[in-house]
Chains A and B, each alone.
Chain A
Amino acid sequence: MEQKVIKINFPLGIPGFESYKDWDFIPEQDTPLAQLVCADNEYIGFVLTRPENYFPVYLKDIELDVEARKVLEVKENTKLEVWGILCLADDLKQTTINLKAPIIFNLETQKGYQLILNEDKYSSRELLFAQQNQATAEEGGKE
């Protein structure tokens, strides 16, 4: 599989891994998945997915605070990428996604930030393949 590696700097680190600022973002070509691997320790890494495939209205609920804008160097026409960290489980149905704290990238400046949403609408462990997950439920159910 062809792999594109994008170097991303997290100026504030990632909660739980504050001391690691440099990460490799590796989006997969054929799936909505990506890996985020610590540049200084290959044994630390996350599997990410684009939340909108399973939670179509999610992106509208994300509002960047001033810290996020500063860290991500957001300008007027900046396009940002939003990804969710997955927690894998042997039983696929138990796979969860952290919607409380999405990972946001500015690929132009290669900056990253984990935003923590203040509202309680989303949890840090939402079931990815839950039935009620709207639009693509029929896709999620196809095996």
Chain B
Amino acid sequence: MLVLSRKVNERIKINDDIEIVVVSVAGDVVRIGIEAPKDVKILRSEVYEEISRQNREAAEQNKGGLNLKTLNELRTKMNV
């Protein structure tokens, strides 16, 4: 891994079209700005994992007969 030291407002350029800037540093929180073309997908790495976990949990809740009753109650509640 390439490791670079940067001060606030200093930038890093990746290829011709991506720039990263250190916006601020406060304690152990670094705010980073990213300028990139719209087709570059940028996500906090833990977010995808969070959504995976949430999906598995939602699917789990929906499994088996247990929730048919819950689902019917939900239908009644929403179908106003």
Q: Are B75 and A16 in contact (CB under 8 A)?
A: no
Chain-A contact segment, one of B1-9, B13-21, B24-32, B62-70? B62-70
Q: Are B79 and A31 in contact (CB under 8 A)?
A: yes
Chain B residues near A32: list those with CB within 8 A: 78-79
Task: Say whether A114 faces chain B, with CB atoms less than 8 Å apart.
Answer: yes
Task: Say whether A56 faces chain B, with CB atoms less than 8 Å apart.
Answer: no
A2-18 interface (Cβ within 8 A of B): 14-17
Given contacts A16-B53, A28-B75, A65-B41, contact A116 B48 (CB under 8 A): yes
Chain A residues near B43: list those with CB within 8 A: 116, 118
Chain A residues near B47: list those with CB within 8 A: 100, 116
Chain A residues near B56: list those with CB within 8 A: 16-17
Residue of B nearest to A93 (CB): B77
Q: How many residues of B contact A (CB 8 A)?
A: 30
Given contacts A46-B58, A46-B62, contact A116 B75 (CB under 8 A): no
0/1 interface trace, chain A 6-38, chain B, CB 8 Å (1 if under): 000000001111000000000010111100000
Task: Say whether A133 faces chain B, with CB atoms less than 8 Å apart.
Answer: no
Residue of B nearest to A41 (CB): B59
Given contacts A67-B41, A118-B42, contact A16 B71 (CB under 8 A): no
Interface positions of A (Cβ within 8 A of B): 14-17, 28, 30-33, 43-47, 49, 53, 65-67, 85-90, 92, 95, 98, 100-101, 114, 116, 118, 124-125, 129, 139-140, 142-143
Interface positions of B (Cβ within 8 A of A): 38-39, 41-43, 47-48, 50-59, 61-63, 67, 70-71, 73-75, 77-80
